[in-house]
Chain A
Amino acid sequence: MATQHSRAAARLMISPSVILLFLWMIVPLGLTLYFSFLNYNLLMPGAHDFIGWKNYYYFVTDPAFTTALINTLVLVLGVLLITTIGGVLLALLLDQPMWGQGIVRILVIAPFFVMPTVSALVWKNMFMNPVNGIFAWIAHAFGFQAFDFLAQAPLFSIILIVAWQWLPFATLILLTALQSLDSEQMEAAEMDGAGPFARFVFITIPHLTRSITVVILIQTIFLLSIFAEIFVTTNGGPGTASTNITFLVYAQSLLQFDVGGGSAGGIIAVIIANIVAIILMRMIGKNLEA
């Protein structure tokens, strides 16, 4: 379909994005890579000696590293699961005819507007707190003991908070995609006697796969670097039960101001993110083709 002419034009159109991102990647990433081999603490001026792999060695052999790696994956997968399934269901619901559709859509999208620190503070203090929280109040009203969310199930609680924030993103993308679904095709299927479930499985889901893929990929990027929610609620504790890789990098970079160690952690985080992305692409990448 594409002519020689349009190919050249296409290349021209892609190049600004590629060049910009290439610069953005190569300059800071190159510097990060360089710093990761130095003994460089921001609070210790003077010569920054080359120390080889020492920063990497200390980051990877940190006893919290394995836990953090597992927590990172659990966090990403948990939120993805809730938001994709919830997002599809919500998008389907919101696509139905109803009164006040516009308002309901805004209500559903609204959590995405809230800054992560604020939503973490609100959830922690006004909902999950075992003495003052609304959940505790509900539990007491039904005669149950209040559940101490952030101590007994810290990671789960954080997944809940993050999923609440990201559900609107999935819903909005999927809803937009649903709207481009050909209604004639639906009607034809309906006339052929396909029930609602069959229509959902054979028409809607295939139509949504590409959008679902994008939801998963984009969310993964953000979820791998979840930080504010953890910092505000549990500070990575109790123990390392809610520490993720980003939190470890943060501790190196902005608590100790260890630029070398933080850079090594950053590079490792990039590698992990890329591995996750490659696995994801293997699993769902074919959906991206037309």
Chain B
Amino acid sequence: MARRTTTARKTGNTVLAWGVGLLIFFPILWTILTSFKTEGDAIAIPPKFLFFHWTLENYVNVNAQSNYLLHFWNSVVISLGSTLIGLAIAIPAAWAMAFVPGRRTKDVLMWMLSTKMMPGVGVLVPIYLMFKTFGLLDTRVGLVMILTLIDLPIIVWMLYTYFKEIPSEILEAARMDGATLRSEILYVLTPMAIPGIASTLLLNVILAWNEAFWTLLLTASKAAPLTAFIASFSAPEGLFYAKLSAASTMAIAPILILGWFSQKQLVRGLTFGAVK
């Protein structure tokens, strides 16, 4: 990070990056703008960018029609719960695979990923029957279990890659200083692995947040997360783009904020790395 950069170059980077960033973000920006339009303005041609009748009507309607906080809270519990449990199970496994690789490590990794290839629809009926038997239908516990299992291979894989990038000389140095396995993981590895763990956490929370097959089919009213909230606004009879945009904005906003925080975390992890 100590490299010199000229202001001119920094300006160039800034302009280019903001341009690309805004282009990629535009569809979302458009969704957010649309959420403040009337249904008529939402489909107007030529499109109305900023000069339209701003209204909060859609948000009022969305809130009157559904229990946003319940769905939001279910999403938080389900996505964070499954990701944290997944991380707790996956960190030791990924650590072991990265630093004590055996002959079959690669095969085990590959096999884990292959469990992810099973299409959900194929196993819907047996899972539904099992959930019914164990009283897990429409419970957050059941969904956390399913999503943990679904995302575990991804978590292991991502952590494995990040751990692999940590130079093993550092570990050996620590070992020579007499560090135990436990302190080695806690004090040497973990700080260096934080950016990796943070981005794994973020990506998996998003994956779980957006998972729309199991969360829709295994819930009814009590444990239904935001995917069900969205499904109650998409494609009814009549015009609905503005209302759907409002619902989408509400579904995206929390995770956008989480992204903002973990984004800072990623940068903080970087400074840890630089200390070495």
Contacts and interface: CB of A to CB of B under 8 A. Distances in A.
Instruction: Indicate yes or no for A touching B, C-beta below 8 A.
Output: yes
B180 to A, nearest CB: 11
Interface string B248-261: 10011001100110
Contact of A110 (B25, B99, B154, B156): B25
Given A21-B112, A97-B5, A106-B256, A224 B117 contact: yes
A61 interface: no
A176 B269 CA distance: 10
The size bracket of the interface on A is 35 or more
B154 A218 contact: yes
B189 interface: no
Given A25-B115, A100-B18, A253-B122, A113 B259 contact: yes
A75 B264 CA distance: 34
Contacts, number: 296
A115 B96 contact: no
B178 to A, nearest CB: 14
Contacts of A103: 21
B122 A263 contact: yes
Interface stretch (A7-15, A62-70, A148-156): A7-15
Given A98-B17, A253-B122, A107 B24 contact: yes
Interface stretch (B61-69, B134-142, B158-166): B158-166
Given A13-B93, A210-B161, A21 B121 contact: no
A126 B244 CA distance: 12
Contacts of B96: 9-11, 13-14
Contacts of B266: 175-176, 179
A82 interface: no
Nearest to A21: B115
A1 B176 CA distance: 12
Interface of A: 1-2, 6-7, 9-11, 13-14, 16-18, 20-21, 24-25, 27-29, 31-32, 35, 42, 90, 93-94, 96-119, 121-123, 125-127, 131-132, 134, 137, 164, 167-169, 172-173, 175-177, 179-180, 183, 186-187, 190, 210-211, 213-214, 217-218, 221, 224-225, 228, 246, 249-250, 253-254, 259, 262-263, 265-267, 269-270, 273-274, 277, 281, 285, 288-290
Given A18-B93, A102-B260, A117-B230, 16 more contacts: A7-B102, A13-B93, A14-B108, A16-B89, A16-B93, A104-B18, A105-B21, A115-B230, A116-B212, A176-B266, A186-B3, A214-B161, A221-B117, A253-B121, A267-B122, A273-B114
Interface of B: 1-3, 5, 9-10, 13-14, 16-18, 20-22, 24-25, 27-28, 30-31, 34, 43, 45-47, 89-90, 92-93, 95-97, 99-102, 106, 108-110, 112-127, 130, 149, 152-154, 156-158, 161-162, 164-166, 168, 172, 181, 195-196, 199, 202-203, 206, 209-210, 212, 226-227, 230-231, 234-235, 241, 244-245, 248, 251-252, 255-256, 259-260, 263-264, 266-267, 269-270, 273-274
24 contacts: A13-B96, A16-B93, A17-B90, A18-B108, A21-B112, A21-B153, A31-B123, A104-B17, A106-B256, A108-B24, A110-B28, A115-B210, A123-B27, A132-B45, A134-B47, A173-B199, A176-B195, A176-B266, A180-B195, A218-B113, A249-B122, A267-B122, A274-B117, A277-B110
